[in-house]
Amino acid sequence: MTANDPTPRFDLLVIGAGASGASIAFEAARRGLSVALVEGRDIASGTSSRSTKLLHGGVRYLELAFRRFDRRQLLLVREALAERGHWLEAAPFLARRLELLLPTRQPTAKLYYGIGLALYDALAGRRSIGASRCVSAAEVSRSLPQLAPGHGGVAYSDGQFDDARLNLLLARTAAGLGVRVWTHTPVIELLRNGAGRLNGAVLQLPDGGSQRLEAAAVVNATGIGADTIRRLAQPDVAPRLQVSRGVHLVLEADLCPGGTGLLVPSTDDGRVLFVLPFHGRTLVGTTDTACAGEAAETPSAAEEAYLLDYVRRWFPAHGEPAVASRWAGGRPLLLPEAGEAGGTAGIVREHAVETLPCGLVSLMGGKWTTCRPMALDALAAVAEQLGRPLPEPQAATPIHGAVADGPSTREQLALLEQTLLQRHAPALVAHLLAGHGLAAEAVLACATSAAELEPLSAAIPLTAAEVRHAARHEWAREPADVLERRCRLGFVDRAEAERLCEPVRVLLLQELERSRESQPCG
Ligand SMILES: Cc1cc2nc3c(=O)[nH]c(=O)nc-3n(C[C@H](O)[C@H](O)[C@H](O)COP(=O)(O)OP(=O)(O)OC[C@H]3O[C@@H](n4cnc5c(N)ncnc54)[C@H](O)[C@@H]3O)c2cc1C
């Protein structure tokens, strides 16, 4: 979206539309603020589409809490477990319970894992999503048949979700509440009033022009870009973030045919590694390599070799793994305080909210699962800038594609599924419901012919209708917006995404032309 009005004014300008920025905009609009949400690239194009896609408290963080007697870390795990429960209910079509195995051949290790995971369950309290359980080697060989033999273990539950689509639907729900969204428009300058306080920003428009926005408060939610915006506000400010690159691979084969994922409990360098079911394939990740911000989204050959080495070790029966896709994202880690353990794997995944003297509020660090409490912390700082408390929302606001509570959403999804199956193939119905929930029919309504409901790929049943829908209702402008983030084809099968790049570009150009000539369809 672009705007040509001279200088629109808002209560709040949020820079960056990842999980953090979209959550802040959503929560601010629920509290009655007028909000502009500005994204330099596409919604979720940063780290928020590049995560391991787990809604979790963090089993590893729980272990760290105990090893270091760190109560703060324990509270973080508890908070994240509550948020895991929140998202599983708020967007049940995008998030689901996933069982993961902590494998071992040692009875003492099994006991250790069992006690730790029982505590993990207990910390979730009423938000528990299923108790952990001991699993025999026979059961493991059924659910993970290619795993090195002889492993039993302990299975526990976390959430698995579509990070890019949840991010997008948060922004879309926020837009439904009146938030003005600009995408592909980076903030290139911050504006100040006569007293030196920030009161807006200049955006660079896709056509090369610029747009001024005025806002009473400005939040920097640019993830690994946070220090750049902070320096724009105050050139001599000290950096607060260290970037750590995390690489994921998607293997062509499905190493988790029973639907259970694997948590490799300890790598040679003391990390954990996930091997997860992912769109009928296998997601393997991640690495943890300190890097410069510009290098955060470029996987290296060494990192790929590192991940493949663990696949070979743990799945020796599989043979040489074929890689269908690879991607990297940057963790925005807060720099360690004096006395904290060195190395990025040891840094507590915690967030911080900072307000510079010029009024810039920066939200830094954190994780996807906890973007909601992070957003509320940022809004507390915004309230201080505005000089007034923000009212609590009176009612729940369902995510676009859901209704007010999880059970009702699930019930209505089941009914919609029955209706859609009368007219469409099961794979298409499953795909539409998984990405769009109760709004799935809006995608079908964008087809200009029956042929536009035919899947364009066997890997993910993207259709021409869905491309049109993404352009009309989801801010998609470029093929990668559709292929990587509106549907996950670019993450699941890179070659397929490249094959579809041109046809998707043509459809997007048609939609651009159409939007110039007419109003978008409902
Ligand atoms: C490998 C990896 C795996 C992870 N796995 C998990 C997981 O399984 N579960 C979990 O809970 N967390 C996970 N995390 C953490 C989580 O993904 C991040 O903490 C979260 O996505 C950060 O969101 P964000 O909105 O702060 O940043 P981002 O998603 O990076 O968003 C920042 C946005 O700001 C935009 N921007 C930058 N500069 C400008 C500008 N000048 N103008 C306008 N816009 C700008 C960027 O384009 C970007 O879209 C993982 C992180 C990594 C790296």
What residue owns the CA closest to ligand 1's atom 35? 16
Any atom of ligand 1 within 6 Å of the Cβ of 46: yes
173 and 85 in a common domain: no
pLDDT at residue 520, as a whole number:
47
Regarding whether 60 and 31 lie in a shared domain, the answer is no
pLDDT, tens digit (0-9, with 9 covering 90-100), for 155-167:
999 999 999 999 9
Structurally, how many domains does the chain consist of? Answer: 3
Ligand 1 lined by 85 (C-beta under 6 Å): no
Tell me the pLDDT tens digit for each residue of 228-253.
999 999 999 999 999 999 999 999 99
Determine, yes or no, domain membership for 342: no
How high is the pLDDT of residue 519?
A: 58
Establish if 246 belongs to a structural domain.
Answer: yes
Q: 369 CB less than 6 Å from ligand 1?
A: yes
**Amino acid 2: pLDDT:** 44
Q: Label the pairing between strands 241-251 and 289-291.
A: antiparallel
The answer to whether residue 521 is domain-embedded is no
Whether residue 398 is contained in a domain is answered as no
Indicate whether 339 pLDDT > 90: no
Residues 154 and 254 in one domain: yes
Q: Cα–Cα distance between 114 and 154 in angstroms, integer?
A: 6
pLDDT of residue 312: 97
Nearest to residue 219, comparing CAs of 229, 211, 209, 228?
Answer: 229
pLDDT of residue 343: 47
Could you tell me if residue 288 is inside a domain?
A: yes
Q: How confident is the model at residue 180 (pLDDT cuts 50, 70, 90)?
A: very high
Assigned domain for 340 exists: no
Is the pLDDT assigned to residue 456 strictly greater than 90? Answer: yes
Cα dihedral 362, 365, 368, 371 sign:
negative
Is the CA virtual torsion 66, 70, 73, 75 positive or negative?
Answer: positive
Contact between 330 and 351 under an 8 Å Cβ cutoff? The reply is no
- Looking at 49-63, 372-386, 472-486, which range is the least confident one? 49-63
Over the stretch 291-324, which tens digit does the pLDDT of each residue have?
Answer: 999 999 999 999 999 999 999 999 999 999 999 9
Assign 3-class secondary structure to 57-97: CCHHHHHHHHHCCCHHHHHHHHHHHHHHHHHHHHCCCCEEE
For the segment 368-388, what is each residue's pLDDT rounded down to a tens digit? 999 999 999 999 999 999 999
Expressed in angstroms and rounded, the spacing between residue 66 Cα and the centre of ligand 1 is 28
- 136 with 219, same domain? no
What ligand 1 atom has the least distance to the C-alpha of 332?
19
**What confidence category does residue 5 fall into, taking pLDDT thresholds of 50, 70 and 90?**
low
- Say yes or no: 320 and 450 in one domain: no
Class of residue 138 by CB neighbours under 10 A (exposed 0-12, middle 13-18, buried 19+): exposed
Residues of the chain with pLDDT > 70: what percent? 96
Cβ atoms < 10 Å from Cβ of 415? 10
Q: Is residue 113 part of a domain?
A: yes
Same domain, 153 and 256: yes
Question: 115 and 263 share a domain?
Answer: yes
**Across the strands, what pairs with 210?**
204
Asked whether residue 131 carries a pLDDT value surpassing 80, the answer given is yes
Checking if the pLDDT of 336 tops 90, the result is: no
d(CA 48, CA 416): 29
Task: Give yes or no: residues 261 and 135 share one domain.
Answer: yes
483-506 tens-digit pLDDT: 999 999 999 999 999 999 999 999
Residues 410, 493: one domain? yes
Q: Domain span at residue 122? A: 56-159+242-332
Considering the entire predicted model, what is its pTM? 0.96
Whether 357 and 502 map to the same domain: the answer is: no
- The answer to whether position 391 is within a domain reads no
> Mean of the pLDDT values across residues 108-112?
94
What is the atom index within ligand 1 of the atom nearest the CA of 44? 49
353, 214: one domain:
yes
Give the percent of the chain with pLDDT over 90: 89
Report which ligand 1 atom has the smallest distance to the Cα of 188.
41
**Same-domain pairing of 422 and 494:** yes
